[in-house]
Every structure is written in C-alpha cells, then in structure tokens.
C-alpha cells in the first residue's frame, strides 16, 4: 500500500521550508525513524515515521517550500509496488509524529 506523508494543517497557513531528508528515495524506513526536518516560522520540526516502509518519492527538496496539507512524500509497504498516478491521489496517510524543537 502507498501511504502519503502530508504536512499537517495544524501548522497553520504559512508554508514550511524543507531543511533536509534523512532518507533517500528507495531507502527502507523503520517505525520511529526520522524521515525529514523542516522549519516553520516558529520552530524546527522533525518528522518521524510511525510505520515501516520504503521511501518511494520525495516531492520537495532541501530549501523548497511546501504548504500545510500538501503531500511531501510517498512511502510503500513493498519497494517495487506500483506508484500512484498523481501526487494528490486520495489514499491512506502515513502515521507520523511532528516534533518541534
């Protein structure tokens, strides 16, 4: 199953800036492993996966801006699972934590 990593709308209407990915496309991801780091206008946020999988597609790179509610990445249960047709295809969201520092 493909799961979408969505930037939470609770962060507000302001865009967030991606600082870095801790994993690359194709890398396995364990539960409780940090995936990426971004900054809001008030904090640095570490995003931790709560489900295992494979990071399949990253939709933004370091230094790029993304709006809350947008899909930042896809993860899948299997590394060769067919990808979705569109970034915004409805589907299950990845369970993740967003810890501000």
The first and second tokens of residue 55, run together, are 């990071």
Q: State the pTM of this model.
A: 0.88
Quick one: pLDDT at residue 12? 67
Asked if pLDDT for residue 60 goes beyond 80, the answer is: yes
Least confident stretch, 31-35, 49-53, 83-87:
83-87
Instruction: For each of the domains in the chain, give its residue range(s) and CATH number, in order of start.
Output: 2-100 (2.40.50.100)
Asked if pLDDT for residue 19 goes beyond 80, the answer is: yes
Asked if pLDDT for residue 13 goes beyond 80, the answer is: no
């Amino acid at each position: 199953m493909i799961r979408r990593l969505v930037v939470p709308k609770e962060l507000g209407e302001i865009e967030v800036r991606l600082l870095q990915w801790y994993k690359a496309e194709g890398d396995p991801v364990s539960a409780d492993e940090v995936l990426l780091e971004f900054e809001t206008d008030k904090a640095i946020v570490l995003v931790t996966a709560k489900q295992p999988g494979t990071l399949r597609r990253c939709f933004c790179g370091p230094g790029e801006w993304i709006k809350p509610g947008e899909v930042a990445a896809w993860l899948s249960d299997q590394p060769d699972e067919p990808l979705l047709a569109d970034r915004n295809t409805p589907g299950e969201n990845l369970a993740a934590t967003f810890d501000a520092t």
